[in-house]
Structure 1
Amino acid sequence: MRLHLYALIVSAAAAAQPAPDRRPVLDMHLHALPADEVGPPPVAMCVPMLAWAPERAPDQSWLDAFGAFVTDPPCPAPFWSNARTDREVLEGTLEVMERRNIIGVLSGPPRDVLWWHEAAPDRFIPSAQLQFGRDAYAPDSLRALFVDGPFEVLGEVSNQYVGVAPNDPQMDPYWAFMAEHDLPVAIHLGEGPFLATVLYPGYRPSLSSPYLLEDVLHRHPTLRISVMHYGSPLVDEMIAMMGAYPQLYVDLGGIQWFYARAYFYEQLRQFVDAGLARRVMFGSDHVIWPGLLEESIDIVEDAPFLSDEQKRDILYHNAARFLRLSDETIARHHAM
């Protein structure tokens, strides 16, 4: 009798839980990365990350301080990645994506992106990352990747980490190819990870300026560019550029969990108040913590100044329009 009563209570509690929102989410900023990307698992992340960022003891290196932070996190409710293999990272990510009906633009090493895409072709849109010195493909190989191959987006273009600006002449053949074939680009501008200048000696915050895109967009007026991390914290400059160049969009790129909510909401509200809510796209900057993917959505859903229509635009419709998804693709996403 007591077991029967307990089963009824559990069933009633489950029935009282709200069903997950199955309206699709289009994440413009996913990464296919190995389980040990930030050190041997398990590793943790605190949110908001910057508020919990570690201090360095006099006898510590910054890398040792960060290693202690991810293995012994100071926050009361860290997000953990317990995946010990690359396959477990994929499986954990897919579990959240299936439950929350997320479709993601996926960047990373081409081999890993193709592996993830083959595992779940309805969940991933393949994107080819580009960073000089790391990703060894020249402009004359773009046709094989994008026209003859499966890739649909060029990005994350992360040359900021090696000190190369968007308007550097060596980037122009890439911009020209993407514009000629009407293919979208996603470029990193704005904050790097904590310890960016330690991990990437070539990284320069000054290359975050949205104005560095002006020559690119002027020379290639049909080129569609998504600015990852929306060039944070240079929001005014980004708004000025978006006002001048209608093909320019931004994604949130994990800024929603890097900073405290109040600060992130203040920046997001600037775009909304400027009338640009239809060109802001959701991006989680998911790395290896599936819980952060869900948290990234919830932060947008909880924004008190956004209407339901604006939330749906940011979480799905704006990216669908930027990527020029077909009506059939959009209908399939809503049916998933």
Structure 2
Amino acid sequence: MAEGDERVEAFWREWELPGLIDVHTHFMPERVMAKVWAYFDAAGPLVGRPWPIAYRYEEDERLAVLRGFGVRAFTSMVYPHKPGMARWLNAWAADFAARTPDCLRTATFFPEDGAAEYVRAEVADGARVFKAHVQVGGYDPADARLDAVWGVLAEAGTPVVIHCGSGPAPGKHTGPEPIARLLARHPRLRLVIAHMGMPEYTDFLDLATRYREVHLDTTMTFTDFAEQAAPFPRGERGRLAELGDRVLFGSDFPNIPYGYAHALEALTRLEMGTEWLRGVCYGNGARLFGV
């Protein structure tokens, strides 16, 4: 058990919450997870710094750890890096959710022929959240091949957690500009900007201010690890407070280089008030996903 894990339950009890909702956790096919961990271990180009995995456990143990923390609902963020991979990942994630009732059924997509059809099928079959990873996938989210996909998701109102900021390393299509183009085309899209758009925090706060359905997740943001490389601007805390009903707690469990409790305690250091913190850690996610 990583140092500080025993403080997680104490945190949500102190704030009189029924537990936690974590919108950004990774459960994947084991061989995929092994490759992800190997990439982190090697401090690959998209990581760029040592990144020790704090919760390198077998799947059953990882589930037990999350439940032991008091996490009442979580996701299985899967994402493809090439064509032909998304359908397979979606089949795995559907099976995982069927045997893991506290997991919000997660799905994904890639710019490829047939994407709109399989996304439509996933929505109809009960997918509750999608994951898009612009950095790893290396695609423009405004790619014409995804236009029908975004249309399906906007019409359904299904949240999409999207890694589109340029942290921890920029990609060809990361940053706010592609997302601005996407939202101009599909303004009702319910995007959840992963990592609050790190490091382009201000630009993504601008988009959240402009588009009512844009949310932000706190994944890794405000932690000591993130603040060393991409500190959140103090001048934006006012807008962070104003947008509090659209900020969601995310952890990146198990792929984090510190204890889970630290991500929660980093939020308390912001001193945003009781209602803001309670909404971020539980209420906003419960409302968004109908938990």
What is the CA-CA distance between 1:124 and the residue it aligns to? 0.7
| 8 Å CA contact retained: 1:89, 1:288 | no
Give the 3 Å change call, closer, same or farther, for CA 23–268 of structure 1 in structure 2: farther
The residue correspondences of 1:161-172 to structure 2 (distance < 5 A) are 161-172=136-147
Alignment of 1:59-208 (within 5 A): 79=54, 81=56, 83=57, 88-108=58-78, 109-121=89-101, 123-132=102-111, 138-147=115-124, 149-155=125-131, 157-192=132-167, 203-204=171-172, 207-208=173-174
- Cα distance in 2 for residues equivalent to 1:18 and 1:185: 30
Q: Is the 8 A contact 2:188 2:213 kept in 1?
A: yes
Match of 1:225 in 2: 191
Note the C-alpha offset of 1:232. Answer: 1.1
Could you say if the C-alpha distance between residues 229 and 39 of structure 1 is closer, same or farther in structure 2, counting changes exceeding 3 Å?
Answer: closer
RMSD: 3.6
Work out whether residues 30 and 106 of structure 1, in 8 Å CA contact, stay in contact via their aligned partners in 2.
yes
1:276 and 2:243 matched: yes
Question: Aligned in 2, Cα 1:317/1:272: closer, same or farther, shift over 3 Å?
Answer: farther
Per-residue CA distance 1:182-207 (angstroms, 9 max, x = gap): 222221112455xx68xxxxx33xx3
Identity of aligned residues (%): 21
- Partner SS state of residue 148, structure 2: helix
Alignment partner of 1:237 is 2:203: yes
Q: Does 1:248 align with 2:195?
A: no
Matched letter for residue 60 of structure 2: L
Structure 1 unaligned segments of length 5 or more: list them: 1-13, 46-52, 55-61, 198-202, 330-336
Deviation at 1:174, TM superposition (A): 0.6
Relative to 1, partners in 2 of residues 1:94 and 1:214: Cα closer, same or farther, differing over 3 Å?
A: same
Give the conservation status (yes or no) of the 8 Å contact 1:44–1:79: no
Amino acid of the residue matched to residue 247 of structure 1?
E
Give the Cα separation in 2 of the matches to 1:321 and 1:314: 11
Secondary structure in structure 1 of the residue aligned to 2:139: coil
Letter in 2 for 1:246: R
**Alignment gaps of 5+ in structure 2:** 1-5, 79-88
Structure-2-length-normalised TM-score = 0.75
Q: Which amino acid aligns with 1:144?
A: A
CA contact (8 A) 2:134 2:174 kept: no
The answer on 1:26 being equivalent to 2:3 is no
Distance 1:25 1:129 in 2: 24
Distance 1:39 1:18 in 2: 29
Report if the CA contact (8 A) 1:132-1:159 is conserved.
Answer: no
Runs of 4+ in structure 1 off by over 6 angstroms are 262-265
The Cα shift of 1:261 comes to 4.9
Could you tell me how far 1:217 is from its partner in structure 2?
2.1
Structure with higher Rg: it is 1
TM-score (norm 1): 0.66
Structure 2: how far apart are the matches of 1:303 and 1:263?
Answer: 18
Deviations 1:163-195 (A, max 9, x none): 3222221211111111222222221112455xx
Matched with 2:3 is: none
CA 1:293–1:151: 2 relative to 1, 3 Å: farther
Give 3-state SS (helix, strand or coil) of 1:103's partner: strand
How many pairs were matched up? 266
Could you tell me which residue of structure 2 aligns to residue 7 of structure 1? none
Alignment map for 1:202-217 (pairs within 5 Å): 203-204=171-172, 207-217=173-183
